Structure 1
């Protein structure tokens, strides 16, 4: 009997068809479900696996023979990849430019003709440490010997003719001295982001990481290099401080945005494919360039990773100091004055000279050096941003006290009235400050709350009597206000003191010292992000 008969062939074919049907439609099987992890990246001895996991980037045909006319995308042409990282240049004697990882990072500064006439000192020092950097603006030119690249010159003329914002751009091109108003420059700014990132991908495709900053972004060079050295540049990273507009999550531009080599390799083809057909109309209707970038990244299949804590959207003076990021290294600050930015740079220079380039500078270290020395029991003409509870004196209270004083009754306790209204973000009762461990309202404490807004001394005593009050501030404005805070902040000196609205601030130092001791001295830095 032959091995293959018609009956046997039919059985085999039927079995195969049934198996295929059930595998496709009937048998359970698992689909990929990618998630965004909390990334710790505690540094090991070795770098991640060798070799390219993503397609090789291509070098741009930027200028020169065969270059396309400005206003159209540039086709990438030649294979190139990032070079190897230096092995271990981390000693305290190393120059900032010779440290491990310095050549891996491209610094990209986004500015405008309105914003910068001369780069601030801290930015000059940062650029001196970077092997390569690019400065983009709404015009081309030069600043302190550095080339300024026009971020808008690849936007087609047909696009520029449709939108009013580009009238200012045309005026700047026609007149090198023309300076638009801040409002008009801001309206034009949103158009820079997408072509700027594309131009970076074509002009400098061989870097592992790209840090996009503004002139007033203060970067810690040592912490930036240590952070990025823990990451695999082939992973598409789009990372920054998260914010939300109309339920759209994006990375705020002010503290800095980090993109990886892998990200730019996924971005530039999508730019060439989608800018004219989809992205241009999105830019036209949205408010902000960093929000638009998030949309482009999403369409380029690049996930967002939050690096809040590593990147700070606040200055040390306005930051809320707490346990969560106490041991997190500080990669960037924003909102600093020029003096503050220079001071922070100097502090970190002293840090690397003492500790070398492999020891991170944490929030704990920044607090000890930049904040703690300024805390005091009481500071005049100072606003420490205490804001958890506001106790406001009743209308006419000051006039009543002055009348009693004139009558010689200032030392007598005024007749009991209804307690002043307490305004709070976390309301429990209209007259009770919202502290988690509010003590029993005995008569003495009840009286303090009632008269807290009469004077700085009363306000301070009220904070001392409330278990988790860390700081207070008092103003003589109106009939008086007492503000209590359980969040730890430094604040700043009042720039224009007003004799009729004087501010006095203070901290309960023993409580501040106790809780910061509990938070620890951070022998081990916390690098995890995407939380």
Structure 2
């Protein structure tokens, strides 16, 4: 069974893809070019779901890759042909690219096709190529659609909440050089995280494109020394006088199954705001969000209102929480109770452990009792000999799901998922099990809903 098919177990949603989707109506729709960036190692796995869902409502989009090909009747354009020929022949980052040009997909092996993998796997051939796409992509997009007011850039596992994005962009003056992004830093360079999606107004794209045309060799030399193309773009934007707008929480680096719904950044918590993107989605999550959006648009045909994060969690996350889910990792990342964890405690801290905490590693019920004994604990995970409790609410994934790819919030596997569910040598008792204190989940939702009273505007502008 394929990688994406197995992951569809994360969400159990019946979705009917109709020939005529319900699409938001906005005067801005025709003035936005959506640019989807991908690569040969992932395109066949990640793109088809886009063509069945969100892209059916987007009037104009283009796909840039490292390999010219057609997928499901849509053309993928080789954007790396814009990079200097000498560089493509001399820099080892282009080994996969040159191989693709010489042999096509026939030259790809299983390990290369696996994708970028956990933590970004910066030694993966596809990942090495990706950083070279950003500046050529911006330049090509401008040539493709010079009159677009906005250019929105996303990745193959980014979900674009199109109705919300249009309403949000309409609040900015497209005649000014805007760069809207989910803030990240590498060293002193601020940039918009590529997987979270970012938007550039027409004047901003023109400034960046002009800089690329004037200093391509210089920018390529800089790119060769770095590892993240979105960071290179951020530096170039700053060099031409464009400051990035900090777009949190509208642009998200995580998916609905992995994000912390109450995380606070820049003095904002997502709950009361409107999402424009999610990242690191698998096919099942795409279907769930698309079904949610279609229902939302149908239900709000006469009284338009934007869905907020709280509406998403209530529709696609809360119904999947249980007192217990077997073979499930809910990514609990708080206090750990295990022989190894106890050994690291000081004698004083060991004596301070409550009876429930001491017994937590012994059973699922003991782990639950430890969580219930701590007022802020809302969920926990248990595997033989290890209990982890958490004050953060997350759904998580089936225990056989692979590690997340790189993002600022998930640069590594947050915790081991235990034996694979499909491993014939493993018994169910060996799996990781997830639990939620459902009464506290209900209280959590009521508390956060109440906080929206002080949020007069669901948009950060």
Please list the CA deviations of residues 281-313 of structure 1 after superposition, one character each: whole Å capped at 9, or x if unmatched. 101111121111111111121111222211111
CA distance in 1, matches of 2:328, 2:281: 17
What is the aligned counterpart of 1:481 among 386, 389, 392? 386
Residues 406-461 of structure 1, C-alpha deviation per residue, up to 9 Å, x if partnerless?
Answer: xxxxxxxxxxxxx94477xxx997438xxxxxxxx7xxx72222222221112111
- Report whether the alignment pairs 1:431 with 2:350: yes
Deviation at 1:176, TM superposition (A): 3.8
How far apart, in 2, do the equivalents of 1:294 and 1:306 lie?
A: 12
- Equivalents in 2 of 1:234, 1:164: separation in Å? 40
Is the contact made by 1:97 and 1:131 (CA closer than 8 Å) also made in structure 2? no
Q: Does 1:246 align with 2:187?
A: yes
What is the TM-score normalised by the length of structure 1?
0.69
Match of 2:292 among 347, 350, 363: 347
Match of 2:431 in 1: 502
Equivalent residue runs for 1:395-474 within 5 Å = 420-421=342-343, 430-431=349-350, 446-474=354-382
Q: How do 1:56-95 and structure 2 match up within 5 A?
A: 95=22
Which shifted more, 481-490 or 501-510?
501-510
Which of 145, 159, 176 lines up with 1:204 in the alignment? 145
Aligned to 2:87: 159
Report the CA distance shift for 1:490/1:125 in structure 2 as closer, same or farther (over 3 A). Answer: closer
Secondary structure (helix, strand or coil) at the match of 1:135 reads strand
| Match of residue 116 from structure 2 | none
> 1:107 matched to which residue of 2?
34
Q: Taking structure 1 as reference, are residues 377 and 194 closer, same or farther at Cα in structure 2, changes over 3 Å only?
A: same
Q: Is the 8 A contact 1:123 1:215 kept in 2?
A: no
SS of 2:313's equivalent?
helix
SS for the counterpart of 2:271 is: coil
- Return 5+ residue gaps in structure 1 as ranges: 1-92, 395-418, 433-440
Deviations 1:475-506 (A, max 9, x none): 11xxx112111111112232334435332222
Q: How far 1:145 sits from its partner (Å)? A: 2.4
User: Structure 1, residues 28-82: CA drift from partner, whole Å, max 9, x if none?
Assistant: xxxxxxxxxxxxxxxxxxxxxxxxxxxxxxxxxxxxxxxxxxxxxxxxxxxxxxx
Listed as ranges, the gaps of 5+ residues in structure 2 are 1-19, 114-123, 264-268, 401-419
Q: 1:526 to 1:375 in 2, by over 3 A?
A: farther
Are the counterparts in 2 of residues 114 and 179 from structure 1 also a CA contact under 8 Å?
no
Aligned equivalent of 2:274: 329
Count of residue correspondences: 396
User: Quick check: 1:367 aligned with 2:313?
Assistant: yes
Q: Note if 1:96 corresponds to 2:23.
A: yes
Aligned-partner Cα distance in 2 for 1:454–1:117: 44
Alignment of 1:248-267 (within 5 A): 248-267=189-208
Pair 1:380 & 2:326 matched: yes
* Residue matched to 1:184: 125
Offset of 1:377 from its aligned partner?
Answer: 2.2
Give the number of the structure with larger relative contact order, counting CA–CA contacts within 8 Å between residues 6 or more apart: 2
Q: Could you state the TM-score of these two structures normalised by the residue count of structure 2?
A: 0.79
Work out which of the residue numbers 279, 289, 293 in structure 1 matches 2:233: 293
Aligned counterpart, 1:136: 64
Cα–Cα, structure 1 residues 339 and 428, in superposed 2: closer, same or farther, change >3 Å? farther
8 Å CA contact 1:212, 1:256 repeated in 2: yes
CA contact (8 A) 2:24 2:297 kept: no
Kept after mapping to 2: 8 A contact 1:393/1:454: no
Deviation sequence 1:370-423 (CA, Å, 0-9, x none): 1111222222222222221001147xxxxxxxxxxxxxxxxxxxxxxxx94477
Aligned partners of 1:376 and 1:115: how far apart in 2?
A: 33
Alpha-carbon distance, 1:123 to partner: 4.0
1:159 to partner: Cα distance: 3.0
Task: Note closer, same or farther for the CA distance 1:465–1:204 as it changes in structure 2 (3 Å cut).
Answer: same
Deviation for aligned residue 1:526: 4.1
> Which of the residues 134, 138, 156 maps onto 1:215?
156
Q: CA deviation at 1:194?
A: 0.9
> Contact 2:22/2:297 (CA < 8 Å) preserved in 1?
no
Alpha-carbon RMSD across the aligned residues, in angstroms, is 2.7
Query: Quick one: structure 1 residues 171 and 468, their matched pair in 2 at CA, closer, same or farther if it must change by over 3 Å?
Result: closer
Distance 2:280 2:366 in 1: 33
Task: Give the deviation of 1:200 after TM superposition.
Answer: 1.0
Per the TM alignment, residue 525 of structure 1 is displaced from its structure 2 partner at its CA by 7.0
**Closer/same/farther in 2, CA of residues 166 and 493 from structure 1, 3 Å limit:** closer
Deviation at 1:98? 4.7
State the alpha-carbon separation in 2 of the partners of residues 451 and 460 from structure 1: 10
